[in-house]
Structure 1
């Protein structure tokens, strides 16, 4: 949902934001040139750095290198720390030496204080020092004047720091008098100062932002030899980050932007300040740990360098070597940046997860299909929709309730007229092994009869305004206070509200959706909380803004775990997020539109989230705003079924769009797409286990899986699921064919449904109908599927399995299967899981344990095996089971497709066995 206010008549006092039409005015949000700290930092010009490193102050204590740098004009001194972290990570911190006011340093995002490694001084000369990090095969070259740092690996330049001389650090002089600030009740010393660049105050949409800190920071980096950069969610833009123009930057500032513009660099719902750079032989990353309003400029260039080092100077040839310059600018905080040195994409993912935590392992039901609408009206409506899925034989797992289910938008309550028997409603869903998700927003209605409000007010858990009163803003309930989730005690209290004894009429099948948590505020500049609002320990909202949704999801997730006594996995969806949000649940791309452009942009948006740690992500199927035509809704279901979070969602004033409302033929196609999702659930579940354990993204751009294939680096209209499935969704209307790129010289690709083989590396035109989207299985892979579907994931416990084996050009393949109870934390604490590895080599398919820890009993059987790429029909196929048993099995063979089908196997899917193909 969006907080975009309605176009009510001037002077209207209506509290209903839906009284008129929604506004979609981009002018409601700041441009770069309207942001004071951006204007200030843009006064700096490249190659004119005022900072000098005082290398005489350099010291090494416990492996941490510390030295001072000085601004040669103001004589203000800063402290620099260079820290080597295990796993090939370098940390750089720059802060005041003697601050008049301490700067905000982001807490809680790092899972722990990183383990440091020793940095040695390997070379020291006048004006320069070289540090060596042996475990990372890297060196840190520090130059005194102008101050700069160069990181090299194996003698090659990798990352330059302040190489353009754009290090910026606002120093805190005395502020101007309050008469100049225009704020009578602000205590400031008497002093006169120009403020054309927003150092002390900034006006936007008739709002005066008083900033008594003026503490913005900035730093530039050069990525040597790189041309392709990715990351920086969330933007409705291409996956590959583009060069920014004049007064243009990627903005990281969490905002509620209803029907956001596409192919735009404005900030929307979430922020992850992680940038990845990739070239064929190296991947690295820059993680900028700062939660304030942040702008990132990107400029690509090419330097001429010799590539014949041994030749005489007059015959050396020059070549253009690409470089990317990245400039980070943040409104407050310190410079705290982690350089992830790779060298492979997976290494960078592991390095980032080592710092911020892995994707939480979700309960299995959450990987099924979710049905949502703003709003399902009442209990009868919920029952009718639930029954409609059964009547039309469409699997689904979760139905969702928006704000109208509450008593006057008071969260943790129920509307007694619409939902008089919520427990009975939930128990009916439980009987069908389904779940309920309800919304819980961060704003709390100001109402002395509302216990959540009175408790939070008494405990002083609300954000304050700059005068020390509880901050009041307008949102769905009308006048509201906003919980201060930066306060650990407030988070603890909020978590306790999910207990079954406090959350009346809730049950353990109820899960949670955190929305509007940017935080969204109606009739406020940029639709969010003023930057001068005050949080726990006196920090301003400008310091913590991008953390707000992160903290609410954290508190909600911990509340659901506590509700179960620490036994069950939570499911929490959030709209606003930050680095580390992957530890607490899922994310979606917000208020998109029912237009083809939004279906198309959803793919690069989700790929960008996936490579920045958030694997559990999705886009509203069908588009939240507006009414999709039948072709669009079918294509969106087909795409969504092959994306991690799969939810249909629609706005309040749109036409109803349950799958059966688009006619029998379209309902059949939607059913087929959802059934494919449920058939593939064993593979999905294994991928989420691996991302939880090994940091491998579930949904991957081609460059991740094929890092040495330059033709894959710009592809963003198709992607990989794990390492086995290539998905090419249909993203345009009325097409009868699409171009599909099959990466990898020597790779085999098999049609996932029809088994025909294609060789890589090539681009091929593939015919499409409305029946399905192209999906291909990679040669060398084995995927596990269910051979039947049920009403929900719960109905599929114990259902039989099928293995789909795709042989590579050597006749081999490998794959894995992970099974546990699907909902508890026993996999973590008691090793209650079964983790299997399947290997096909020399015409034998083996089933073996993938580790020695799992001990979960599995009764499910392996019913079928399909093998693609068998060149000749077998003369005999036999199964060899534990204990020496041997028996023949029936098979069929398609010579034209080189396809072998084994049926009626009745093997324990988690037992040791071999299938020999003679």
Structure 2
């Protein structure tokens, strides 16, 4: 019988794995009309548009509380029994928070813990007065006003006198009150073979948000769509599916689909020449969001308020542009934040002030990673490691997937395949390299597995609706899932990463959290049932989109605890939620070796960036399928500029280590990976900026050029930081690409030094040998390290090259941030932060680190070995003696005539061996 059971288990797992590796099947996932909450709200909205009722909320009793907040009651259609309460708060730097809840609720709705940063409330401004105007209350703040119209209820935000955002301008705001089930009520919601009991009944939160003065909205990742969100509802829209936010394990996903993927960040951003505005809903339940095209109101939905009533508190200026959106949320609370801007970077910074800025990663994790499902044994790992050395290709980290474990039991090793894990890691560490192993949230239900026994005895698993430990299927077979909402469980989990518990782990071993949506092979839509129960009696429906975030958080705590809080952790996660950026890195999931997936990776990363996720990447080469050498080469050339740079492939794909395709492909992939190592100083500096401001590494063109309308819908190219313009090659055999050069500035080709004028789109010839189009912005200085090494660790003391791209004023500037790349000593002031400026023929390095609050000193022996100056005027291109000023001491140095750095710049003034320290103040003057 035991043998029969094992055979059945194997058969089931083969079936599950086969389904996991098959093409995406649309019928396996819900659409709006197949979810009662979405269908019901849409039907009500359509009825309201026909004049058959409406929410008709009226504001009563509005006042300022003793704490300096605005409070009021919202009465729907005069029904006092269904009253809601409103609370509005303002915070420093242009943030408004609005919460609405039932006045008398049968059951307290779930509010997400550990997403909003701990010190956020300390930034709250005390509102001390409200002005009254035309039947509305006006809260006047620095640079903007919040207007609350009383009847019908409407919130408007004006910036500098211009209306930028409104909530409930279409009278669609509704919170379904929890109620006692009556005879005949049908609350169950079935899909395929699964039934959701919905024991507390309908509890939907729905509302409309309008972005005024804008043609485009962005954000609400994660999905494989264009960056500027296309309308989902309107007269000319064929696919009327809304954008869905519901974390799911979606393999081989489609491009240009509104369907949600592995993560959910309920943030929408609008941008126009007049400024940028953002909206964030702090809620982790399933959401369906429509972006409404002009004329949508004539389709029988979402038109209930005549313009005269809703516009009477607007400014006299005629409004020409707006984007309307309709949000339908299954459960939870209305806890919304408005980010007033006005600039694109302001909005990201304001959002990150609420949910946290990006964690600054260890230096090694910003370099190249090599992964596969699976490197099969220690000999395979050694062979891949040796292959990189043999073909002189740098890499920093090799990854192990689920097959390295003992029967898919995490924190274990297969004793036959990986009998000496410490020795294996030590050999890698000797070259300055690292390893990552996978740890998923499903725990094998095996009484011989100590972790499972302990979790069971403590009651640490998510429960099913009957109160038993939830039992689902994933890679190990029968599995239970840790209840990471409970901070006690996260703390317990963190202990499992210690060297004594994770036997065979070493300090160079880091972690990968996959399948944490959570993925449940036999669950509804391959995930956990919504009526499963978490700590405190919370239904899974209320926190589904945040489950992976809490699991990610627990794993990060584990690595922190393992090192006594000294070293920074590295944990990659597939599932994401608002706030993930402060925890760790993510990737875009199980993509495909398809040119469309090369292309769609760019808008996916852009959407993640504007919603706070700075450290993200896509699997280079595609997880599924077999890329041909040209596609793989093009993907490496693009992946060079991803914040997270990893090659990865499925178990059933052909091996694709960069040297397996022969020449010229091996050399071209080596060149692409090496180019990443050359710009690591620049990339690491950008990560530091993201950790302070939240501004992402990968940026839409309009983030740096906010008034250039040609950039607003552009997503085939991006900026890496402020200085590098990157345009991929997205089709087989491409001979040219149409590149748009934003702004009014000159752009320098990073290889040839050829210049291109801003504000124009130009056809650029491309070849495999030329790589993809990449340009440095005039007026910038980029620090690089050009010596070829095996890993980033071996580059630590290498000298720097500064690449100066002069603008029309003959000026440029840039920054460099350096710390030990590993620990938290930078928080004590142990770092170097330099500003480089070229003005009036003189290049100067000055200190940006605060000197008085810098108790810890960090030093670097690194020198500047080369300065490349592009755009030098003809009269300065002379051979002779120049001068370096260090303090008051003058030092002679050779200035070369125009020359070529191999593979880099063809027309530049090159200063060789100026012999100045990167950490010092110094100046170099031409002439």
1:555 maps to 554
Q: 2:896 aligns with which of 861, 882, 891?
A: 891
1:108-507 mapped onto 2 (5 Å cutoff) = 108-112=114-118, 113-114=120-121, 115-124=123-132, 127-133=135-141, 135=142, 137-176=143-182, 191-193=183-185, 195=186, 200-213=187-200, 214-245=202-233, 247-301=240-294, 321-507=320-506
Match of 2:598 in 1: 599
- Secondary structure at the aligned position of 2:480 is classed as strand
TM-superposed CA distance for 1:131, in Å, is 2.2
> Counterpart of 1:38?
38
C-alpha distance after superposition, 1:609-638 (max 9, x if no partner): 111111110000000001000100000000
Equivalents in 2 of 1:399, 1:300: separation in Å?
Answer: 47
Query: Which residue in 2 is equivalent to 1:912?
Result: 921
Distance, in Å, in 2 between the alignment partners of 1:589 and 1:779 is 32
Matched, 1:29 2:29: yes
Cα offset, 1:60, TM superposition: 2.8
Q: What SS is found at the alignment partner of 2:353? A: helix
SS at match of 2:385: helix
Closer, same or farther: CA 256–832 of 1 in aligned 2, 3 Å = same
Give the CA deviation at 1:558: 1.2
CA drift at 1:225? 1.0
Q: Are 2:55 and 2:174, in contact at CA under 8 Å, matched by a contact in 1?
A: no
Find the counterpart in structure 1 of residue 758 from structure 2: 760
- Higher mean C-alpha displacement, 487-496 vs 845-854: 845-854
Contact 2:283 2:332 in 1 (8 A): yes
Partner SS state of residue 345, structure 2: helix
**Separation in structure 2 between the aligned mates of residue 23 and residue 225 of structure 1, nearest angstrom:** 41
CA distance in 1, matches of 2:803, 2:646: 27
How big is each residue's C-alpha offset from its partner over 1:814-854, in whole Å with a ceiling of 9 and x where there is no partner?
A: 011111111111111x2111111111000000011112346
Match of 2:882 among 877, 884, 887: 877
CA distance in structure 1 between the aligned counterparts of 2:394 and 2:210, rounded to whole angstroms: 50
Residue 145 of structure 1 and its aligned partner are, at CA, apart by: 1.8
Deviation at 1:766, TM superposition (A): 0.8
Query: RMSD across aligned C-alpha pairs, in angstroms?
Result: 2.0
Residues in 2 aligned to 1:343 and 1:159: alpha-carbon distance in whole angstroms: 12
Please state whether the residue corresponding to 2:348 is helix, strand or coil.
Answer: helix
Report the counterpart of residue 901 of structure 1 in structure 2. Answer: 910
Per-residue CA shift, 1:690-748, capped at 9, x if unaligned?
11112221111101110010001111011111101111111111111111101112x01
Mapping for residues 659-678 of structure 1, pairs under 5 Å: 659-678=658-677
Q: Secondary structure at the match of 1:61?
A: coil
Secondary structure (helix, strand or coil) at the match of 1:758 reads: strand
**Does residue 686 of structure 1 match 2:685?**
yes
Question: Could you list the per-position Cα deviations for residues 521-549 of structure 1 after superposition, in whole angstroms to 9, with x for gaps in the alignment?
Answer: 01221000000000000000000101111
Q: 1:394 aligns to what SS in structure 2? A: coil
Moved more, 534-543 or 756-765: 756-765
Cα distance in structure 1, aligned partners of 2:925 and 2:124: 51
CA distance in 2, matches of 1:773, 1:153: 40
CA contact (8 A) 1:727 1:774 kept: yes
Quick one: distance in 1 between partners of 2:645 and 2:552? 19
Q: SS at 1:696's partner residue?
A: coil
- Conserved? CA contact 2:169–2:209, under 8 Å: yes
Gaps of 5+ in 1: 1-7, 177-190, 304-316
Matching of residue 81 in structure 1 with residue 87 in structure 2: yes
Tell me the equivalent position of 1:58: 63
Query: Which residue of structure 2 aligns with residue 5 of structure 1?
Result: none
The one of 860, 863, 866 equivalent to 1:858 is 860
- Is the contact between residue 844 and residue 914 of structure 1 (CA under 8 Å) also seen in structure 2? yes
Query: Deviation at 1:51?
Result: 3.2
- Name the CA distance, whole Å, in 2 between partners of 1:152 and 1:883: 54
CA contact (8 A) 2:58 2:77 kept: no
Contact 2:60 2:75 (C-alpha < 8 Å) held by counterparts: no
* Separation in 1, partners of 2:538, 2:428: 44
Conserved in 1, the CA contact under 8 Å of 2:32 and 2:38?
A: yes
CA distance in 1, matches of 2:246, 2:405: 30
Counterpart of 1:4 in structure 2 is none
Task: Provide the C-alpha distance between the structure 2 equivalents of 1:522 and 1:90, rounded to a whole number of angstroms.
Answer: 41
Q: Which residue is 1:810 aligned to?
A: 809
1:875-907 superposed Cα distances (whole Å, 9 cap, x missing partner): 642111235132132311269976211112222
Following the alignment from structure 2 to structure 1, what is the Cα–Cα distance between the partners of residues 62 and 78?
Answer: 19
The TM-score with structure 2 as length reference comes to 0.92
d(CA) in 2 for partners of 1:147 and 1:219?
A: 12
Match of 1:307 in 2: none
Equivalences, count: 875
Shift of 1:49: 3.7
Q: Secondary structure, in 3 states, of the residue corresponding to 1:865?
A: strand
Query: 1: distance between equivalents of 2:384 and 2:11?
Result: 37
CA distance in 2, matches of 1:439, 1:681: 26
**TM-fit CA distance, 1:507:** 0.5
Given that 1:53 and 1:67 are in contact with CA atoms closer than 8 Å, whether structure 2 keeps it comes out as no
The correspondence of residues 537-576 of structure 1 with structure 2, limited to 5 A, is 537-576=536-575
CA distance in structure 2 between the partners assigned to 1:92 and 1:239 by the alignment: 27
CA contact under 8 A between 1:50 and 1:146: conserved in structure 2? no
Q: Deviations over 1:131-170 (max 9, x none)?
A: 222x2x2222222222112222232212111100000111
Residues 837, 844 of structure 2: 8 Å contact kept: yes
1:101 is matched with 107
User: Cα offset for 1:319?
Assistant: 7.5
Distance 1:437 1:327, change over 3 A: same
Query: Would you say the 8 A contact 1:32–1:247 is kept in 2?
Result: no
Separation in 2, partners of 1:710, 1:242: 17
SS at match of 2:437: strand
**Residues of 2 paired with 1:383 and 1:803: CA distance?**
36
> Is the CA contact 2:425–2:434 (under 8 Å) kept in the aligned structure 1?
yes
CA distance in 1, matches of 2:381, 2:509: 14
Structure 2: runs of 5+ lacking an equivalent:
1-6, 234-238, 297-315
Write the distance in 2 (CA, Å) between the matches of 1:601 and 1:152. 35
1:41–1:168 Cα contact (<8 Å) kept:
no
Cα 1:11–1:26 change in 2 (3 A) is: farther
- Secondary structure of the structure 1 residue equivalent to 2:803: strand
Q: Which residue of 1 aligns with 2:824?
A: 825
Paired with 2:718 and 2:145, the residues of 1 have a C-alpha distance of: 36
Give the Å deviation of 1:12: 5.8
Aligned to 2:520: 521
- Alpha-carbon separation, structure 2, partners of 1:868 and 1:859: 27
CA distance 1:243–1:498, shift in 2 (3 Å): same
* Distance across 2 between alignment mates of 1:29 and 1:787: 49
Normalising by structure 1, we get a TM-score of 0.93
- Quick one: distance in 2 between partners of 1:11 and 1:797? 48
